[in-house]
Structure 1
Amino acid sequence: MLVRIVKLSIEDQFIEAFLNNFENNKQKIRGFEGCQFLELYQEQHTKNVFFTYSYWDDEAALYTYRNSDLFRGIWAKTKPMFNAKPEAWSVNKLHSLD
């Protein structure tokens, strides 16, 4: 399993639009073949910083999503909202404790 962590810094005036865009697309992303898990986090003290955590079957599944019409449409709406370059990491989960 591959875990994808993406940090997104949004202009303050676009926070509501960003959240609405995520709300409108979260089920489509989660339902995309190979996506096993999806969460959105908001930084506690810097309200315009968000993180997405998603679990993918493998790198190929993530690559397929990133080259899909769904991703391109979401990214086209989100990209103009940024106030800093997004950061992304693909990591392997080593341990998980409940």
Structure 2
Amino acid sequence: MFVRIVKMSFHQKHIKEFLMMFEKKKALIRASKGCQLLELYQDKNSPEIFFTYSYWNTEQDLENYRNSEFFISTWQQTKLYFNGKPEAWSVDKRESLQ
């Protein structure tokens, strides 16, 4: 399993639109083959900054999702709301303490 972390920064005027879009699409993202977890975070000090964390069984599962029509159309819509370039990392989960 590995984790995909995406940092996105939005224009203030588009935050509500992004959150409404995420609400509508989150279950479909989570239902994508190989997706084990989906989380959305908002920075406490800079509310225009959001992070998504998604856990994937394999890198191929993520690539299949990223090449899907669903992702492509969702990402095209999301990009309209950005006020900066998004950043993304694929990391291996080493430990988790609960």
Q: Which amino acid aligns with 1:61?
A: D
List structure 1 segments (4+ residues) > 6 angstroms apart after TM superposition. Answer: none
CA offset digits 1:45-72 (Å, max 9, x no partner): 1010000000001100000000001101
CA distance in 1, matches of 2:26, 2:15: 16
Q: TM-score, normalised by structure 2?
A: 0.98
CA root-mean-square deviation: 0.5
CA distance in 1, matches of 2:63, 2:4: 11
CA distance in 1, matches of 2:19, 2:89: 21
* Count of paired positions: 98
Q: Does 1:91 align with 2:87?
A: no
Aligned to 1:69: 69
Structure 2's unaligned 5+ residue stretches are none
CA distance in 2, matches of 1:53, 1:3: 7
Q: Does 1:18 align with 2:53?
A: no
Structure 1's unaligned 5+ residue stretches are none
